[in-house]
Amino acid sequence: MNFVTQSTFTKNKTQTLALPLATIAFTLLFHQSDIGLNLALFDIAMVVFLIMTKPESFKKTEVKIAVLLTLITAFCTAWYGTPDNIIWSIVCLGLLSQLVLYPQTSVLLLETRLMIASLISPIMRFSELFNPVEPNTNTPKSGKREKVIRIIFVVILPLIFTLIFAGIYRQMNPYFDNFCKEIEVYINFEVLLTAALGLYICTVFLKAFVPDEIIKTDQKLQNVFTAEGRSNPHLKLEMQSGIALFSMLNLTLIIYLISDVMFLQTIHLQGTVDHSKYVHQGIGMLIVSILLATAFILYFFRGSEASKLPVSSWLKRLALLWVVANMSILITTAIKNYLYIDEYALTIKRIGVFIYLLCAIAGLMIAFAKVHQGKTNAFLFRKTYWAFLIILTANLCMDWSTIIVKHNLKAHIENGQTLDWRYLLRMDNRTLPLINEKIGQLELNVDEYDSLKRELEAETVGLIGYQPKLREIVISDIVAQQKLNHYE
């Protein structure tokens, strides 16, 4: 495999200083610190650097969207500080980095590119130092590169191995361990480790390596069919098979939808167990149904001959009807989930059902456009990538913990719905002021009320004592802390 980089960065002073400056910024922000505001600041700094270094890449609509997603997730990380926000912030920054460093590519194969960049970028960049010529040129390296190589071999590598063996020897002799502790007063090895981690992460984002085979594959997979596409000798047979298959599937699905409407009319007569069963198991079966629907679309309309059939053709009519019918299943499933929530309370999993249904509807709408407009399978994957990225980013902007607590408390106080207060206490700390405010209005027996009050006090003590460093602040926790102090 050829690992030649296709990045279009040009050599300039800003690029030369970018990696060490980014590493220093990472060390200052994250050394001996939890993740919070610092990650948001790091994301913003990386976006600013990319804009300053390659402003021409930001003319593309995809790059502008990636910048917006990165800034939104940076703000959400500073506000919420939850693990899912942190992970998604890193994903969005990686997306932006790939689109800027490789402007000739798209979002296709993004996860593969990010994985490869994470694994091999530092290795490949380090190996560049030992190349006798500059990458992609035949010009010999300057004397500065030779000095860098000499420093690595004479200073850095011996120092690294010395530290490794010193760590081993510390476990073998208490006197040597005490001696090393005295040295650590003057040399902070944790700072060096943080800097090394920062160098690795910044290399992945600023100097990513991606094999040119992957880039060529991305460029080869266009959204529209080319004139030189191969003909399908079995096209007539496949069309007949597709018409027969979609006819039977549509008939089955129409019967199912009729029965589903009848089920919704009698759903209030179903028991809790049956209702839960049909909602949760129905989601699993719905996932299978959507995947099969997409697979059929990808197969029968993989070539230009079938895709360019007129919309009036029976194959396209039945395929489009099949997509619309699957959307109808999503709607009835959403109604079931809503009724379930209205009856039994709101939870993260039930919100997750709505998020999945929204992603599924977006995917089916793109599949509809692919068939109707005669686009390639690559078009379906690219647009679905972006739809999922946008939906999941919007999902992480929502304060679901607060929404759940408010909804369940209101349903209990106003409608007498059973309250699982232990579940509410498992929500994020920012919801504690809401529970504390409404605790006097809850209809609980004496034992449950005492248990709730005792566990709530234990949780609030931790939040009131929250005193983070400025760089690791989670803003929502600070706001919640101020509200609790106000109540006291």
Q: What is the mean pLDDT of the chain?
A: 82
Where are the domains positioned within the chain? 13-220, 235-241+254-375, 407-487
Question: Which of 329-333, 392-396, 466-470, 484-488 has the lowest average pLDDT?
Answer: 484-488
Given a cut of 80, whether residue 305 has pLDDT beyond it is no
Mean pLDDT, to the nearest integer, of 200-218?
81
Dump pLDDT digits (tens) for 227-272: 655 566 667 788 888 899 989 989 988 998 888 888 777 765 555 5
Q: Is 133 helix (H, G, I), strand (E, B) or coil?
A: strand
The whole-model pTM stands at 0.82
What secondary structure does DSSP assign to 147-201, as a single string? HHHHHIIIIIHHHHHHHHHHHHHHTT-HHHHHHHHHHHTT--HHHHHHHHHHHHH
Indicate whether 407 pLDDT > 80: yes
pLDDT of residue 148: 61
pLDDT attached to residue 287: 81
Q: Give the pLDDT mean for 213-229.
A: 76
pLDDT of 367 reads 92
Q: What is the pLDDT, as a whole number, of residue 399? A: 93
356-365: buried (b, 16+ CB within 10 Å) or exposed (e) per residue? bbbbbbbbbe
> So what's the pLDDT on residue 3?
42
Query: 48-84: per-residue pLDDT in tens?
Result: 888 877 788 888 889 999 999 999 999 999 999 999 9
Query: From CA 484, how far away is CA 432, in angstroms rounded?
Result: 8
pLDDT in tens, 94-111: 999 888 888 888 887 777
Question: In this predicted model, which residue has the larger pLDDT, 128 or 386?
Answer: 386
| Length, in residues, of the chain | 488
Q: Where are the beta strands (DSSP E) in 57-175?
A: none
Per residue in 428-459, pLDDT (tens digit) is: 989 999 998 888 888 888 888 899 999 988 88
Cα pseudo-dihedral 56, 60, 64, 66, rounded to 10: -110
CA diameter of the chain: 87
Using only C-alpha atoms, the chain has a radius of gyration, in whole angstroms, of 29
